[in-house]
Amino acid sequence: MLHELLLAAALQPAAGAHAMIATEQRLATQAGIAVLKRGGNAVDAAVAVAYALAVVDPCCGNLGGGGFMLIRMHDGSEHFIDFRETAPLRATRGMYQDAHGNAVPERSRKGWLAVGVPGTVMGMERALHEYGTLSRAAVMEPAVALARDGYTLVPGDMLPFEGSPGEGYSGWAGGAMPHAGEHLTQPDLARSLELVERGGADAFYRGPIARAIVAASRQGGGLLSLDDFARYTTVETDPLHCRFGALDLIVAAPPSSGGVTLCETLGILAPLPLAQWGWHSVRETHYVIEAERRAYADRNAYLGDPAFVNNPIAQLLDPAYAARLRASIDPVRATPSDEIHPGLGALTEGNHTTHFSIVDADGNAVAVTYTLNDWFGAGVIAPGTGFFLNDEMDDFTAKPGAPNLYGLVQGERNDVQPGKRPLSSMAPTIVLRDGKLAMVTGSPGGSRIPTTVLETLLNVFDFGMNVQQAVDAPRIHMQWLPDEIQYEPDAFARDAMAALRSDGYAFKAIDLWGSAQAIVVDPRSGMLYGGSDRRHAAGAAIGY
């Protein structure tokens, strides 16, 4: 019933016969569309959007963070660019623990000690150089203009400024909290962007920007050095694949756990008649939650930076393993999380983020999720640079057993080591059906990203929602620990919640999370439909 009501009340998606871009900020969407109309491809547009979001969504879009770009070109070639931050070379395993060995959360979340070496600028350079067609100046021009000439904040743009940016405000945009109606210019950021526009990655990693960040970090008690910047590299790997019914998913590889968690959950769910059971019905919820519980227990125990640990991906995504986990689900009772142990046994070892999705007129598809981690990252800015630095170091295991910002209780494989990348949950995802592009999607939301992507997929392919309905529908989430179903308002009919309670589930209401930005291709007409999550009013999907 709830499902029908939601469908009836929903907004319509944006439609486009040629191309589509969905982002969390309309001016960034427009920047990407302008680049496409100038003859750029989806990768050119992605770089333009990433730089524009650094200006118009400064909590989350960034120069001072990192992330992942997933590309599928129309010829079928696939690329996964990892521009995740790295731990400074002077980082140490116990750096976020006090003298008694207790985790000190503030240390990995705010201030200079929380900052990892940023990857965004090098990631964009690599993407543009390898897969783009336009000059750096052409794709950066909209961002430079937005920073230098400014833009007027409308009420919907204010969401990013609701989170506290910490001490960094004093170095940003005049130091005052912006307000709706204000024309916001960011001259320092414009200068940083112009430096990158002229000098490329070297301006950032071997030039004035690195020097400014390192000086500020030293002064603020951080560990960053010029060597950290000079040695930073992006990594390009093949994305992972998994099947879900007729769908072939192209997903993020480690150091993101996003793809593995999504695919492991889908593997457990694959043979179950979810659509027949009904959206967020008692039975469907039960199995989705139990699958998520098991996949997150594995995520937290087994995954880490592939340059440092072996990720048992083939084992985690083996259909026989999925069948074993499925068989461990009691059909009516919740399994307490303390009875769930990472399913492979011991192995021997040798809120803030943003996502955008793009499809161009040739059918090239790009999904990018990148982040500062928390709102405005570590809340620090190197004087004169105009952009916030990440607090990605909090994604490491500060101490096994101690929860991070997202409540994730993680293991040794994700410990802090010099030059290592912290395990991420980001899950840019491209879906094929019969070898053809069917969907491009992703979301921010920390540990809730894989389940947000999961629900967006199920909403489209199992529950028949259009893409706008699919991104807007209320969500549910379980991540092993804490042992609770997290849910948004209206996620359940009242009687479903009562029934689930009596099956042994605890619930926690969470206001709203994530911001899915998705594109779906109609298999018959080839029309593109875009959905930009209503939770972020500033967002827009625009097609043509």
86 is a contact residue toward ligand DON (CB under 6 A): no
User: Is 353 one of the annotated active-site residues of the chain?
Assistant: yes
Which residues neighbour 411 within 8 Å (Cβ) at sequence distance 6 or greater? 300, 301, 302, 397, 400
410 is a contact residue toward ligand DON (CB under 6 A): no
* Interface segment toward ligand DON; rule CB under 6 A; list 182-190, 220-228, 272-280, 424-432: 424-432
Q: What is the 3-state secondary structure (H, E, C) of 43-77?
A: HHHHHHHHHHHHHHCCCCCCCCCEEEEEEECCCCC
425 is a contact residue toward ligand DON (CB under 6 A): yes
Candidate residues 373, 451, 452, 532; the one interacting with ligand DON per rule CB under 6 A: 373
Candidate residues 16, 239, 386, 444; the one interacting with ligand DON per rule CB under 6 A: 444
517 is a contact residue toward ligand DON (CB under 6 A): no
352 is a contact residue toward ligand DON (CB under 6 A): yes
Partners of 356 in the beta sheet?
Answer: 368
The rounded Cα 304 to chain-centroid distance in angstroms is 16
Cα–Cα dist 303/414, whole Å: 7
Shortest distance (Å) from residue 57 CB to ligand DON = 12
Residue 509's CB is within 10 A of a number of other CB atoms, namely 10
What residues between 249 and 278 interact with ligand DON by CB under 6 A?
none
Closest CA to 72 of 327, 504, 439, 349: 439
Cα–Cα dist 258/453, whole Å: 9
Which residues neighbour 307 within 8 Å (Cβ) at sequence distance 6 or greater? 235, 419, 420, 421
Shortest distance (Å) from residue 351 CB to ligand DON = 3
* Alpha-helical regions (H) of 163-248: 187-205, 208-219, 226-231
Closer by beta carbon to ligand DON, 107 or else 191: 107
Closest CA to 420 of 307, 331, 316: 307
386 is a contact residue toward ligand DON (CB under 6 A): no
Closer by beta carbon to ligand DON, 360 or else 395: 395
Shortest distance (Å) from residue 113 CB to ligand DON = 16
Amino acid letter, residue 448: R
* Interface segment toward ligand DON; rule CB under 6 A; list 44-52, 161-169, 231-239, 445-453: 445-453
Candidate residues 10, 27, 426, 485; the one interacting with ligand DON per rule CB under 6 A: 426
Candidate residues 30, 186, 281, 371; the one interacting with ligand DON per rule CB under 6 A: 371
38 touches 30 (CB < 8 A) = no
378 touches 77 (CB < 8 A) = no
Shortest distance (Å) from residue 135 CB to ligand DON = 31
Cα–Cα dist 332/442, whole Å: 31
Peptide bond into 254 cis (omega under 30): no
108 is a contact residue toward ligand DON (CB under 6 A): no
353 is a contact residue toward ligand DON (CB under 6 A): yes
Instruction: Identify the active-site residue in 86, 353, 369, 397.
Output: 353
State how far the alpha carbon of 152 is from the alpha carbons of 146, 178, 190, in Å. 10, 10, 16
Candidate residues 132, 386, 446, 530; the one interacting with ligand DON per rule CB under 6 A: 446
Closer by beta carbon to ligand DON, 299 or else 326: 299
Cα–Cα dist 477/484, whole Å: 8
With H, G, I as helix, E, B as strand and everything else as coil, classify residue 485: strand
Cα–Cα dist 486/292, whole Å: 12
**DSSP H/E element including 324:** helix 319-327
Shortest distance (Å) from residue 301 CB to ligand DON = 16
State how far the alpha carbon of 26 is from the alpha carbons of 23, 142, 224, 365, in Å. 7, 13, 34, 19
Shortest distance (Å) from residue 443 CB to ligand DON = 8
479 is a contact residue toward ligand DON (CB under 6 A): no
351 is a contact residue toward ligand DON (CB under 6 A): yes
* Interface segment toward ligand DON; rule CB under 6 A; list 70-78, 429-437, 443-451, 458-466: 443-451
Closer by beta carbon to ligand DON, 56 or else 270: 56
Closer by beta carbon to ligand DON, 287 or else 370: 370
Tokens of 437: 């592009």
Closer by beta carbon to ligand DON, 443 or else 459: 443
23 is a contact residue toward ligand DON (CB under 6 A): no
Shortest distance (Å) from residue 353 CB to ligand DON = 3
* Interface segment toward ligand DON; rule CB under 6 A; list 238-246, 348-356, 467-475, 484-492: 348-356
With H, G, I as helix, E, B as strand and everything else as coil, classify residue 228: helix
Active site residues: 353
Provide the binding-site residues for ligand DON, judged by CB under 6 A. Answer: 351-353, 371, 373, 392, 395, 424-426, 444-446, 449
